[in-house]
Amino acid sequence: MENMEVKDIKELRGENVLVTGGTGFVGSHLVEGLLGLGARVVTTYEYTDPLSYFITEGLDKKVVMEKMDVRDFDGVFDLVTKFDIDYIFHLAAQAIVGVAYDNPRRTLESNINGTINVLESARLFPKVKAVVVASSDKAYGKMESEKYHESNSLSGDHPYDVSKSAADLIAYSYFKTYGLSVVTTRFGNVYGEGDLNFSRIIPGIIRSILTNEVLELRSDGKMIRDYLYVKDVVKGYLLLAQKIEGTKGEAFNFGSEDTLTVLELIDVTGRTLGIDIPYRILNTARNEVPYQSLNYEKVMKLGWKPEQSIESTVVKVLEWYSKLGLGRVTGRREKVLVIRRPEKLIKEVKKEEARKTEVAVDSQQLTNGKDLYVSL
């Protein structure tokens, strides 16, 4: 698996692993990673999309698929016992903020009751060695701190945020009360191949590029988020499962160095691809948190860090979406080298690499604290 030291994660080889929501965007990449480690994977699903990463990568032919809604406790418990499950990764959820606003009951039932059903099944079936619960930075709600720490309170105040805050607390209660080996993950905005929710900003940007349409922004463009590549997310899930004896009962933030406003994200994407991305600000977003960024020093102590960035991944992400037949890239400019945090250039870029790209910068450029864009 790309960017994964599989030799260090032997615990999952030959194990029976349940991934709830394994046919979804992040779930499909996790399933792919688990298969690469030699695990026997079972996944729940409600429906499959023929354009999904799960189907286009042929993962449906390599796992056991069980049609099920995680709100059904009997179904979840039967699945855990029937397949003699060793590890559970709980990703199934209603994950769209806008849908949560329009349909709060379904969101709360899926995200809270679904989590309870998974945890209770694991409690009743002692063979389960670990449960990894997928949460979100939204669990923190609206906060004023520069970076969210795991010690901050969980203060969601709208349906989706509340569903994540509650699920986090319930997971901790199962550890504290019953000693269940459960660990919670909190990620920023995850992107990558396979996200078919085009209301999210990066899939929306990609679609606007391929269809040559103006990108419509629901926000004012100033919302700040962490953007984390999906393969780095998978690495985090697997690490926490591997180290469950030291991580159970804990929550871990997973962030990135791509902490950007929406407008900065559009700019970096366009410059990296060498194309213009026209946009229109609608400013119609509801219940959006203005600033969310995660401090991830805690999980770094376990050996995790983000290995990818927007600049290193956006080309291959665009290539994946282009295979869906949405359109093709037009109006490409010259190739552009994007140097993030150029004040670190001298330390981080080898002289040979700088010579090959023929980049020449003066000391003022290196210390002005701004990104540097150089045509090649």
Do residues 254 and 233 make contact, with C-beta atoms less than 8 angstroms apart?
Answer: yes
* Cα–Cα distance measured from residue 315 to residue 209, given in angstroms and rounded to the nearest whole number: 12
Tell me which of 45, 53, 148, 160 is the catalytic residue.
160
What is d(CA 327, CA 210) in angstroms, rounded to the nearest whole number?
A: 5
Query: Would you state the structure tokens that stand for residue 288, as one six-digit string?
Result: 């959006």
Query: How far does Cα 23 stand from its chain's mean position?
Result: 14
Helix (H, G, I), strand (E, B) or coil at 44: strand
**Mode of pairing for the β-strands spanning 215-217 and 182-187:** unpaired
| Total residue length of the chain | 376
Angle between helices 201-211 and 262-273 (to 10 degrees): 40
Report the sign of the C-alpha dihedral through residues 280, 284, 287, 289, in that order.
Answer: positive
Q: By C-alpha distance, which of 40, 36, 43 is closest to 9?
A: 36
Q: What are the strands, taking DSSP E only, across the chain? A: 16-20, 40-45, 64-67, 87-90, 130-134, 182-187, 189-191, 215-217, 224-229, 251-254, 259-261, 279-281, 336-339, 372-375
Is residue 160 among the annotated active site residues?
A: yes
**6: Cβ contacts below 8 Å, ≥ 6 apart:** 36, 37
Rounded Cα distance, 151 and 173, in Å: 16
What whole-number distance in Å separates Cα of residue 117 and Cα of residue 167? 11
Residue from 49, 47, 28, 27 nearest 196 by CA: 49
Question: Could you give the residue numbers annotated as active site?
Answer: 160
